[in-house]
Amino acid sequence: MKGTIRYYFILLSILIFSSSRISLSSIINELPDDKKNIFRPVINKLIIDGVDSNFIYQALSSPEVQFNERFVRINVTNFVNNPDYSNNWSRKSIEQSLNFLNKNIEILKLAELEYAIPKEIITSILFIETKHGNFLGNNNVMSVYFSTALCSEPVYIEKNIEFLKTKTDIENSNELKNKIIERSERKSKWAYEQIKALYKMSKIAPFSVFDLKGSWAGAFGIPQFLPTSYLSWAVDGNKDSQINLFDNVDAIFSVANYLKSNGWGNSIEEQKKAIFHYNNSSAYIEAVLRLADSLKVNQYSNYNN
């Protein structure tokens, strides 16, 4: 008797699973053929991982969401570029940052008190990222991640190798190929995790993740968080029961929480490590610290004039 019950239980489970897969397939099959075909590897993984097919359909049926080979290229090959942040501690940059600091001084002081992150550091990061929200990026975030998730496909690995051959002086072709393969696998997994994070965000964020605009790396909001960073470190600074990184208060508190959660301490080594976690560039670290130091000096000068 127990064996019979077990048999029917297994049979019922198979039928339910099969009907569920058929339902998923039918929804996905309503997508435009071009998107359905090019994004098939990503779609299949998302379905297997239990991501709601309605989320996948809503994301890919939007005219805003398109495959863009530029995202596949730049997110893999950008390591050959040396970022220049030197304009971020110019006289104009310091003046703009001082204006932001003075305008938001009470909120910055509260964040500094709660997280022990200097208000000048928070101000500097928000300036370098988006000029305090004036330049948020115009790339569709879904397009960035769905496209980049395909970068480990052999055809794009070969295209990126050929692209870099014309842009670098790397003589060892095997070294270049291995570098691209390694980065392609890593970036593909990274982008895929961001899509799953967007799925979670779609249930809690006070804005539409399907219309979200940001950088070519998929960072969004005033502090330019990734979706995984939003889930891990974004906080409700203004206590309105929403976490909105397009709001100054939430952005300020979220940057402070991010740095504190990622090792900010009293030593310069700890501070650099926390900033490096935010953006793994030594030039970025230098820019944040130089601008922050300039803000401290200029504030002190103003107080004594």
Res. 6 pLDDT band, cuts 50 70 90: low
Buried b (16+ CB within 10 A) or exposed e, 213-246: ebbbbbbbbbbbbbbbbbbebbbbbbeeeebbbe
Could you please state the CATH topology (level 3) that the domain comprising 86-137+219-303 is classified under: Lysozyme (1.10.530)
Q: What does pLDDT average to over the chain?
A: 90
User: In whole angstroms, how large is the CA radius of gyration of the chain?
Assistant: 23
Task: Give pLDDT, residue 176.
Answer: 84
- At residue 167, the pLDDT reads 72
**263 three-state secondary structure:** coil
CB 237 within 8 Å of CB 107: yes
pLDDT at 17 over 50: no
Can you spell out the DSSP letters for 189-253? HHHHHHHHHHHHHTTT-SS-TTS-EE-TT--BTTTTB-HHHHHHH---TT-SS---TTSHHHHHH
Q: Tokens 């090019």 — which residue? A: 38
d(CA 218, CA 144): 6
Higher pLDDT, 134 or 25: 134
- Reply yes or no on whether the pLDDT at 16 is more than 70: no
- pTM, two decimals, is 0.88
Q: Which amino acid is at 303?
A: Y
50-54, 60-64, 106-110, 296-300: which has the minimum mean pLDDT? 296-300
Confidence of residue 25 (pLDDT cuts 50, 70, 90): low
Per DSSP, the three-state class of 171 is coil
Distance separating alpha carbons of residues 59 and 55, to the nearest angstrom: 6
pLDDT in tens, 155-199: 999 999 999 888 766 556 788 889 999 999 999 999 999 999 999
Predicted pLDDT at 142: 98
d(CA 193, CA 232): 13
Domain ranges (residues) in the chain: 2-79+140-201, 86-137+219-303
